[in-house]
């Protein structure tokens, strides 16, 4: 995998995670700047999806992006909101990653 593909994956993962974070901030704070941030991230991630799916296929690309974006949101929650990772939340992350992988198996 070359650097342009890795950077496209990185941008897709970050934008996928940021769109959820901006949506949550918009729901709690009711400021439209967060809504515009979520819209921008979702539009940008669509273009990244098109590039990734054309090169690697939908099953492989979607699984990688979603699993890594779930991990990014979990790390963001621990780092920013000081959430505690107990055995149930770790088990939930593992089961979530496994479910995405199993959904994409032929």
Does the pLDDT at position 105 exceed 90? no
CB 51 within 8 A of CB 65: no
Provide the percentage of residues in the chain whose pLDDT is more than 90: 23
SS3 45: helix
Domain that holds residue 98: 3-103
Q: Which of 36-45, 54-63, 65-74, 89-98 holds the top average pLDDT?
A: 36-45
User: Considering only CA atoms, which of 94, 76, 80, 88 is closest in space to residue 20?
Assistant: 76
| Mutual angle of helices 58-81 and 3-29, in 10-degree steps | 50
Total number of domains in the chain: 1
Of 4-8, 19-23, 79-83, 102-106, the least confident? 102-106
The pTM (predicted TM-score) of the whole model is 0.71
Identify the band that residue 106 occupies on the pLDDT scale cut at 50, 70 and 90.
low
Calculated CA dihedral for residues 23, 25, 31, 36, nearest 10 degrees: -40
Contact (Cβ atoms closer than 8 angstroms) between residue 98 and residue 43: no
Instruction: Assess whether pLDDT exceeds 90 at residue 58.
Output: no
Tell whether the model's pLDDT for residue 1 goes beyond 70. Answer: no
């Amino acid at each position: 995998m070359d650097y342009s593909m890795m950077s496209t994956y990185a941008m897709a993962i970050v934008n996928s995670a940021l769109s959820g974070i901006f949506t949550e901030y918009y729901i709690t704070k009711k400021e439209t700047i967060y809504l515009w941030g979520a819209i921008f991230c979702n539009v940008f991630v669509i273009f990244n999806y098109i590039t990734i799916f054309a090169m690697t296929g939908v099953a492989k690309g979607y699984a990688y992006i979603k699993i890594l974006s779930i991990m990014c949101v979990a790390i963001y929650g621990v780092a920013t909101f000081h959430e505690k990772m107990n055995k149930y939340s770790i088990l939930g992350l593992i089961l979530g990653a496994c479910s995405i992988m199993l959904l994409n198996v032929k």
